[in-house]
Chain A
Amino acid sequence: MSDERRDDEILGRALGRAIETLHVNETPYERSRMASPAERRALFGLPQVAATIAVVVLAVALGAWFNSVREAREVPAVGSPTAVPATTAPAAVATPVASIDPNRDRIWVYFARDSLPPVGVYLQGILDDSSSEGRTTSRLSLLMGLQPSRVPAGLLNPLGSVSPAVNGSRQTGLGVHTSGDTAYVEFNLPTGWGVSGSAQSQALLQQIVYTVTEEPGIDSVVITERGQRNAVIDQLVVDKPLSREDVSGYSRVSPQLIGETWPLTCTTPCPSPSTAKLSNTFFVDKVPVSAGAMRFMILVESGQPSEFYVSPLKNDQTRSQLPGKSVLQIDIAGTDSKTGTELVNSSPLRAIRTSVRGARTVYELALDDLRPWRVAILPNPERIVIDLGGYPASISDTIAVYSPGQGDPPLRRFSVNGLARTFEAAVLWRVRDGQNRIVASGSTTASIGTSQQWGTFQFDVQLPAPPPGTGDLFLEVYWASPKDGSDQGLVRVHLKVG
């Protein structure tokens, strides 16, 4: 082969590889025009249309007689009688393949929430299941075109304000490409992002990142605007790959990425050694935890587990058959009578898989993301509590306030509860008014002090009469450093009027 010919071959093969990498929307066979009579209607050429019109005229003329003939031929009911003349339907497609995947008509997408991480819900919609890019495009397009009346109550859909470019009847404002564990999403938005202010921008960013990373195997997103190397959402510059953890709002708290072993010592008299019998329950978004939080509770019904092990893991959705991006695994001595996988789909808890191996039980909590988590052990009856998340602004490394929640109305008298692991279990609190004046303060003791374990606390706040103005209040919960008395682990709950 001559040098010239060899060079041609090299370039030609490079072109072949370039074509191979083109992202195409691979319509599955079942939805191809060849396999679908309903779609094939659109392909009729002029002669067929003319023939069809002739059939209509004939049908009108012959009235009921024609209909009876048509029914006798068992033509599929696909709309008007002109749709599929039986005589033109090839035998191979007379019985279309109708495999309907029950999950294909439901799409899991995320909505934003005020002061909380996004929440996932199922919406009716058709998922383009042909590729990773197709599925991601389906999810984003569903939210961008969603009627406000279809947005679940209390949730925000900032993507609904995004108006992508259109070319004729076709939306061309969204380009999705995946490479490895990263999705690249390019928006072409002639009228901008449709949001303003940092709260809305952050909410939009959260919604995009959570929705795009719902795709199995995709952990982060690069968002760009057409012709740019990054995206600027109002004044929020997005210029690096983002994971759910990057935008969830818990960045000031380390989510404890290393597994921990928890010894359990029994109080005398210890029960005689036997395999502990366990059962479990959970709460999401409600008392005894707060919105955005999950509590998983293992009840020790009998016996005494000696220790348990909690480890946060990345969930490989392509292999584990569990939804969600993270798994919190709890391995405990004892047996739970209920095993198997329970689909929860209540964000952030997607599923619980329980398996018993010998005298041990492994619980796998499939989660939307890895939020800060806390372990507490409650007595009488003995319960092992694993809490996760909550209002990001209500959680620090050492204090988690569950009630009141961010944005709750200020009351003259209210209860405060949560978890803490503070020096000597001392928990301090104060209430400030809108002018930053302290209007009430006090202290309480949590059930347990500095430890791996978190202790519970609860106290009542009684504001002095007359009430301090009518404005917002700020509840601050913290502890004092034994070295210099400075505030530690401060959590600030904004109590809003109206």
Chain B
Amino acid sequence: MTDPWRELYEREYPRLLRALVALGRDPAAAEDAAQEAFVKAHRTGLDRIEKPAAWLLVVGSREVFRRARRSRRELELWASLPERHDEIDTVADRADLLAALGELSERQRTVVVARYFYGLSYDEIASHFDIKSGTVGATLHQAIERLRQIQLAGRLARGVMR
């Protein structure tokens, strides 16, 4: 017999963990938060959670931000990534983007991850994250614009503009 919790865990845990690492820049805190999110989901009960994936992201991201505020740990995740020189989308570019994400406000970070990593619609983001539906688009645009500026600055600083 299929265990629905196992199924949910194996389907959603990797994605949730990556999202939380990107949001909080602390792999250990992200793992704690992801585990916590699943435990909370378990206590709540699957029948009471309409969209488990988004629910887990909401709970997990809150937990990550709460922990970050409390501990203010700033781990340089990408410092452990080796340098490679792919034609496009290099590790350095990805590291720049992830670093830039960390410079955004918590709300901007959450909206960007929900939209571009989870693929949630504007309406879904609005309802799950308690944001006015009319402001999701504007928040996203401001966030991306800020990402672009920070990433550009990073690339200029490294002298790798192509």
Contact = CB atoms under 8 A, between A and B. Distances in A.
B97 A90 contact: no
B80 A186 contact: yes
B59 to A, nearest CB: 13
B38 A12 contact: no
Interface residues of B, number: 50
A11 B19 CA distance: 16
Contacts of A16: 116-117
A90 B41 CA distance: 12
Interface in A1-53: 4-5, 7-8, 11-22, 24-27, 29, 32-35, 40, 43
A7 B144 CA distance: 9
A90 B42 contact: yes
A226 interface: yes
A170 B141 CA distance: 38
A229 B83 contact: yes
Contacts of A92: 3, 5, 42
A34 B147 contact: no
Interface string A386-413: 0000000000000000000000000000
Nearest to A39: B35
A21 B94 contact: yes
Interface string B1-44: 00101100110011001110110000110110001101101110
A21 B89 CA distance: 11
Given A11-B144, A20-B117, A27 B35 contact: yes
Interface in A79-93: 90, 92-93
B84 A179 contact: yes
A170 B28 contact: yes
Given A8-B141, A22-B18, A34 B38 contact: yes
A13 B116 contact: yes
Contact of B14 (A7, A21, A24): A24
A224 interface: yes
Contacts of B80: 175, 177, 186
B97 A175 contact: no
B79 interface: yes
Nearest to B37: A34
A25 B28 CA distance: 9
B97 A18 contact: yes
B89 A8 contact: no
A12 B145 CA distance: 10
Contacts of A170: 28
B35 A33 contact: yes
B54 interface: no
Contacts of B18: 19-20, 22, 24
A40 B6 CA distance: 16
Interface in A127-177: 170, 172, 175, 177
Interface string A85-124: 0000010110000000000000000000000000000000
B43 A90 contact: yes
B38 A22 contact: no
Contacts, number: 122
A226 B21 contact: no
B136 interface: no
A459 interface: no
Nearest to B115: A12
Nearest to B144: A8
Interface in B83-122: 83-84, 89, 93-95, 97-98, 101, 112-113, 115-117
A287 B130 CA distance: 76
Contact of B31 (A20, A25, A224): A25
B140 A8 contact: yes
A222 interface: yes
A184 interface: yes
A29 B10 contact: yes
Interface string B123-147: 0000000000000000011001101
B82 A25 contact: no
B48 to A, nearest CB: 13
A26 B13 contact: yes
B148 interface: yes
Contacts of A15: 97-98, 101, 112, 116-117, 147
Contacts of A33: 35-36, 38-39
B90 to A, nearest CB: 10
26 contacts: A8-B144, A8-B145, A12-B116, A14-B94, A15-B112, A15-B117, A16-B116, A26-B14, A29-B9, A32-B35, A32-B38, A33-B38, A33-B39, A35-B6, A35-B9, A43-B35, A43-B39, A90-B42, A90-B43, A170-B28, A175-B79, A175-B80, A179-B82, A186-B82, A224-B82, A229-B83
Interface of A: 4-5, 7-8, 11-22, 24-27, 29, 32-35, 40, 43, 90, 92-93, 170, 172, 175, 177, 179, 184, 186, 222, 224, 226-227, 229
Interface of B: 3, 5-6, 9-10, 13-14, 17-19, 21-22, 27-28, 30-31, 35-36, 38-39, 41-43, 75, 77, 79-84, 89, 93-95, 97-98, 101, 112-113, 115-117, 140-141, 144-145, 147-148, 151
